[in-house]
Amino acid sequence: MFSLYRRAWSEKNVIARRQYWGLIFVLPCVIFFAVFFLYPLVTGFYLSLTKYTLLRPPVFIGFDNYVNLFNDRLFLKAINVTLGFVVGSTAPTVVLSLFVALLFYQKFPGREGLKLIFFSPLLPSVAVVSVIWVVLLHPSGILTNIVRPLTGKAEITWVHDLTLSPVVIVLARIWSAMPFYMLIWLAGLTAIPQELRDAARVDGANRIQSFWSVELPLLRPTAVFVMAVSTISAFQGFALQFVISPNQGGPVDVNTTLGILIWKYGFQFFRMGDAAAVSVFLFACIMIVTGTQIAWGRSDRYSIN
Amino acid sequence: MAKSTTPFESDAAFEARLRRRIQKLILFSTAALIAILFGFPMYFMAVSAFKAEAEILSTPFNWLPQEFVGLQHFEGAFERAPIGQWYVNSVFIAAVQVAVGIFFGAMAGYGFAKFQFSGKRILFALILSIMAVPFQILLIPLYVEIRHFGWHNTYAGLIVPGMLSAFAIFLMRQFALSIPDELLDSARIDGASEFRIFISIALPLLAPASASLAIILFLASWNNFLWPLVVAQDRNLWTLPVGMTVFSQPYRGEPSIGPSMAVSTLATLPVALLFLFFQRYFIEGMMVSGIKG
């Protein structure tokens, strides 16, 4: 009797001890993220409070970097440039990718093949996208010739023009980002049960009415996701501006986003403290977007389940 | 009226069929127009790699090279820059990051899914929150840290910080949840050690499920631009995306457009092949990860 009890107790002990294997399995990752995520995240905040040029140890200066930033013409300009890029690229990307998803949701011959061609911008890296667009935007290249009937100009310096260059970078961005968001919209559309559409039809709704009052409300979680992800990634705009525009963010810094500014302060001017402060500011901006997404996405008024 | 025996349909049916036909035609033409608009830059890239330099920007656009120049632009590109070295670097870095990412991702995912230990919930929540922090925030402090390690301008500096991904752990945990406990328990009864069970039972079960994860990790590594740009100063340590900057102002002197398009094509080729052969996993992977764009 007593020995039976003891055996049960020790078995329980074995099972309890076995659970520590879980900790052993997750430990390599936990240590990795402590070293390569948590530590830099914390030192990032600390560095933003220091003057640091890589040559001498960082000197604590409190909030001076932040105060200086808000008197810094380049930083204020970078905020404008970033917001312009975010608004200019996100709104068209979200709306147009929904339109394309709706189109490819219909049945017609040749649909799958055309969809594959439409997806082709998913393949190149941002660096390659930039180089392709640099060539498409050659002063006497394809884009110039396409708009020639309208402008009558044989040469347009797209990327060197102060007003045109942010616009063409937005264009490149829309081109390269749309297929991804179209995929997400398409998945959202496919998840809507056909019965709901049929029910709307039976009730006498036409296609457009059915879209506005049945599908669009059900697409709300998808819409929140698409808007948030595209806004967050546009806030981090870097590679397109870095490669396409002359002098990394030029001309005259009209394409210097916050991302480019971090790079410039950090790796051109070696002002690590300022660069870290810009990073913290960018982080705050992105966290606001993420927070909004969570707040909006949480309401399940329209969810299917 | 007597039931018609003719093979002709009624006017109403014919009209309906015609309307459907026209509808499909409109849908097809709109879709075709959009597809051409989006596919054109990629086609332009590939075809320009084989055109004579003067022909690339000619008006009207030649859909096929009038003068096929073979691999001349590829050779030109290889002469101007160590592209072979960059290619090897990109492949090597991606291979290590995918392999290590899958192995340790599976290990941690399995640990989180199949064991109860104190602090598990909070650790997992912390790892999930990593995904919400964009890399640019870490750029400066991570670079400073890597310099302290003496890893600046080395393969270790290029590879190690991107070796594990929180997303891989998250996805592997989802997969590991579906491994039946009975299977693990029977191995325990047979006397297998926990590590042995992970290696010979859990890992083989998780590996096939991770095809789309492997593609995500590969793309993240292959397309990474910002980190190698700041870590690798030595030209021979560059990866393909960083090397692209050399070819980014092709019409302002050397190198010219043909070689630029040749390098672009080379850099895109592996991804295009992945897409063609593993289309389902590719698209699945992109959707679950929310990367790109």
- With a CB cutoff of 8 Å and minimum separation 6, the contacts of A294 are none
Closest-CA residue in chain A for B47? A132
In a domain, A36, yes or no: yes
Q: How far apart are alpha carbons B246 and B226 in whole angstroms?
A: 15
CA–CA min distance B71, chain A (Å): 19
In a domain, A136, yes or no: yes
User: Which of A27, A108, A174 has the highest number of chain B CBs within 10 A, making it the mutation to test binding with B?
Assistant: A108
* Rounded CA Rg of chain B: 27
Q: Into how many domains does chain A fold?
A: 2
**Tens of pLDDT, residue by residue, chain A (305 residues):** 555 555 655 666 777 777 889 999 999 999 999 999 999 999 999 999 999 998 888 989 989 999 999 999 999 999 999 999 999 999 999 999 999 999 999 999 999 999 999 999 999 999 999 999 999 998 888 888 888 888 888 888 898 889 999 999 999 999 999 999 999 999 889 888 888 888 888 888 887 888 888 888 888 888 988 998 899 999 999 999 999 988 888 788 999 999 999 999 999 999 999 999 999 999 999 999 888 887 877 654 444 33
What architecture does CATH give domain B74-289? Orthogonal Bundle (1.10)
The residue among B231, B112, B96 whose CA lies nearest residue B164 is B96
- With a CB cutoff of 8 Å and minimum separation 6, the contacts of A241 are A85, A169, A248, A249, A255, A256, A257, A259, A260
C-alpha triplet B3, B7, B8: angle, nearest 5°? 85
Tell me which residue range forms the domain holding A248.
67-298
Q: Running DSSP on this structure, what letter comes out for residue A60?
A: E
Q: Which CATH number covers residue A181?
A: 1.10.3720.10
Q: How far is CA B22 from CA A108, A211, B14, B16, B228, in A?
A: 11, 22, 12, 10, 52
In a domain, A59, yes or no: no
* CB-CB contact of A217 with A129 (8 Å): no
The reply to whether omega before B255 is within 30° of 0 (cis) is yes
If asked whether residues A39 and A83 sit together in one domain, one would say no
Tokens representing residue B104 in the block: 């340790």
In a domain, A174, yes or no: yes
If asked whether residues A212 and A113 sit together in one domain, one would say yes
If asked whether residues A39 and A87 sit together in one domain, one would say no
For the ranges A82-96, B1-15, B245-259, the maximum mean pLDDT occurs at A82-96
In a domain, A107, yes or no: yes
> Phi and psi at residue B102, in whole multiples of 5°?
-70, -45
In a domain, A305, yes or no: no
Q: Where in chain B is the domain with CATH 1.10.3720.10?
A: 74-289
Helix (H) / strand (E) element for B100: namely: helix B83-114
In a domain, A195, yes or no: yes
CA–CA min distance A255, chain B (Å): 16
User: Which of B43, B121, B140 has the highest number of chain A CBs within 10 A, making it the mutation to test binding with A?
Assistant: B140
If asked whether residues A42 and A88 sit together in one domain, one would say no
Q: How far apart are alpha carbons B108 and A110 in whole angstroms?
A: 44
If asked whether residues A111 and A239 sit together in one domain, one would say yes
If asked whether residues A218 and A182 sit together in one domain, one would say yes
Q: Is the dihedral angle over the CA atoms B275, B276, B280, B281 positive or is it negative?
A: negative
* Rounded CA Rg of chain A: 26
If asked whether residues A42 and A71 sit together in one domain, one would say no
* pLDDT for residue B250: 63
Q: Which residues does chain B have within 8 Å of residue A141's beta carbon, measured at their own beta carbons? A: 57
The residue among A235, A249, A76, A94 whose CA lies nearest residue B134 is A235
If asked whether residues A104 and A181 sit together in one domain, one would say yes
- With a CB cutoff of 8 Å and minimum separation 6, the contacts of B71 are none
Interface A-B: count of C-beta contacts within 8 A: 290
The residue among B92, B101, B110, B133 whose CA lies nearest residue B240 is B92
Classified as helix, coil or strand, A251 is coil
Of A20, A106, A121, the CB nearest to B42: A121
> Phi and psi at residue A211, in whole multiples of 5°?
-65, -45
Of A22, A123, A246, the CB nearest to B42: A123
Q: How far is CA A14 from CA A9, A124, A230, in A?
A: 9, 52, 49
Q: Which residues does chain B have within 8 Å of residue A95's beta carbon, measured at their own beta carbons? A: none
The residue among A19, A282, A143, A259 whose CA lies nearest residue B194 is A19
